[in-house]
Amino acid sequence: MRLGVLVVLLAVLALIQVAFGALWIPPARVLEALTGPPRDFTDTIILQQRLPRVAVACTVGAALAVAGLVLQKVMQNVLVSPSTLGINAGATVAVVLAMFFGMSGGTLLFPALIGGTAAMGATLLASRLIAGQGDRRLDLVLAGSMIGILCSSVSTFVISLDPDLFGDLMGWLVGDIGNFDYLALPVVLPVVAVALAIALILCPQLDLLTTGEDQARLLGVNTALLQGLALALAVLLAVAAVVVVGPIGFIGLVVPHLVKLAMGETGRATLVAVALTGPCLLMLADILARVALAPRVLHVGTVMGLSGGAIFLVMVLALVRRGRA
């Protein structure tokens, strides 16, 4: 039932997405293009430029949201997500470096994987080191932001070496679904599909982890293996998204939280709901990006940073207050 509502919402947002763009195309004309034979360039815009954008928004939104959910389950920490753990920034710097060395397209996934994994590893290591007497969950996020700042400093430096090579990268660096990397799609789409399927299969085992590691071990779960597998899956999903659309933050943080409010945090239905809500949020942000300062078009990454940062702030305050009470 709730999933049905989400599907309808997704369809409506997708239709608005297709109507919006550099030029406004009335929804009636959109439906015409979707059903009738192609006539002019408007059909090209709808069928070959805007529909792929919707497809990308769905794939990437789902990938980031599910990555966030898996991370939160494995780490038992509502504040972690691909962006707060530094995975996005790590993948970004790896992609920028790889591009400087002449790589492009789908092959960028491999350096991005290395970068994302390394950044997450560094975050985990750093969080152990800075761990104070306080909340361990906060240490992790603090470490993630340190690694994130470090990575983006390096990206900035590499770009400054030859801005003419990276000029058309501005939107991607901030994160945007309007300007995505067409070249990487053929590699990234299947990867995301397979990873989402695996996440769906593993879902019951992951839910066991949320009851506590000891409990899960008693029930015969190989926790170390499961955790490792889940982390790898999350990094893969997040990194695949970064390669295509750049580091869009907070989808992975906010979406699991929203879904949890409505339908709890365990079960396959929750995972599907998260995979549906991610694209909804992303498209909503994209529509906002187009109307907020119209005629100037903002980047989705900026809108997500603004709104996601505010939501993150509320979450942090709630968490800290509860910890104190």
Partner 1 sequence: MILRTGPFSAQVSRRFLWALPVLLAAVAALVWIAIGAGATPTTATERLSALRGEGLIGDLRRPRILVALLGGAMTAASGIILQTVSRNGLADPGLLGLSQGSVVAILIGGLVFGLGSGALVWVGLGGALAVSVLVLGLGRGTLAGGGIVLVGLAVNIVLGSVTEIVMTSGDATRFARLAVWSRGSLAGVSAGDLRLIAVWALVTVPLLLALSRHLAPLLLGHDAARGVGVDTRRLLPALVLLAAALSAPVVVVCGPISFLGLIAGYVARRLVGDAPTEVLVTGMILGGGILLLADTAGRAALAPLVVPAGLMTSVAGVVVFLLAIAADRRLNR
Partner 2 sequence: MIRLVLAALLLPLPLLAKDITDDAGFTVTIPDDPQRVVSLHDWITTVMAAELGVPLAGTSARLRSDGSLYVRSAEELFGMTVPEVPLASIHGQTDPEQVAALRPDLIIGNLGDTLDQRDQLALVAPTIIMDPEGGRDPLDLYRAFAGWVNRSELFEAKLAAFQADAQGVAGGRDLSACTYLPVLANDRDGTLTILRHYGGVTMALDTLGLTLADAAGMVPESQSRTVVSAEMAGALRADVLVLTYLSSREETPDTPRNAFDRAAPGFLQGFGGHVMAVERERAYPISFQGAAEVMRALPADIACAEPR
Whole-number Cα distances in Å, 50 to 11, 33, 76, 257: 14, 12, 38, 29
318's contact among partner 2, partner 1, none, with CB below 5 to 8 A by partner kind, is none
Question: Does residue 237 belong to the site contacting partner 1 (CB under 8 A)?
Answer: no
Terminal-residue alpha carbon distance, the chain: 37
Query: Which residues of this protein are in contact with partner 2, per CB under 8 A?
Result: 21-23, 40-42, 44-45, 48-50, 100-102, 104, 160-165, 168-169, 171-172, 176, 178-183
| Token pair recorded at residue 161 | 């070496």
Residues 257-296 touching partner 1, rule: CB under 8 A, are: 293, 296
Taking the least distance from each CB to partner 1, the nearer of 166 and 180 is 166
| Token pair recorded at residue 243 | 């390669």
Taking the least distance from each CB to partner 1, the nearer of 150 and 189 is 150
Among 47, 170, 198, 202, binds partner 1 (CB under 8 A): 170
Question: Does residue 301 belong to the site contacting partner 1 (CB under 8 A)?
Answer: yes
Measured CA to CA, the distance from residue 243 to residue 247 in angstroms comes to 8
183's contact among partner 2, partner 1, none, with CB below 5 to 8 A by partner kind, is partner 2
Extract long-range pairs of 285-289: CB within 8 Å, 24+ residues apart: 286/17, 286/20, 286/57, 286/177, 286/178, 287/13, 287/16, 287/17, 287/20, 289/178
| Token pair recorded at residue 144 | 């993630």
C-beta of 297: minimal distance to partner 2 in Å? 8
48's contact among partner 2, partner 1, none, with CB below 5 to 8 A by partner kind, is partner 2
C-beta of 53: minimal distance to partner 2 in Å? 9
C-beta of 263: minimal distance to partner 1 in Å? 26
262's contact among partner 2, partner 1, none, with CB below 5 to 8 A by partner kind, is none
Measured CA to CA, the distance from residue 167 to residue 242 in angstroms comes to 18
Question: Does residue 219 belong to the site contacting partner 1 (CB under 8 A)?
Answer: no
Measured CA to CA, the distance from residue 148 to residue 242 in angstroms comes to 14
Q: Which helix (H) or strand (E) holds 286?
A: helix 268-291
321's contact among partner 2, partner 1, none, with CB below 5 to 8 A by partner kind, is partner 1
Whole-number Cα distances in Å, 274 to 2, 71, 306: 12, 13, 21
| Listed residue (54, 56, 124) closest to 86, CA to CA | 124
Question: Residues in the site for partner 1, rule: CB under 8 A?
Answer: 79, 125-126, 129-130, 132-135, 138-139, 141-142, 145-146, 149-150, 152-154, 156-157, 159-160, 163-164, 166-168, 170-171, 174, 249, 293, 296, 298-299, 301-303, 305-306, 308-310, 312-313, 316-317, 320-321, 323-324
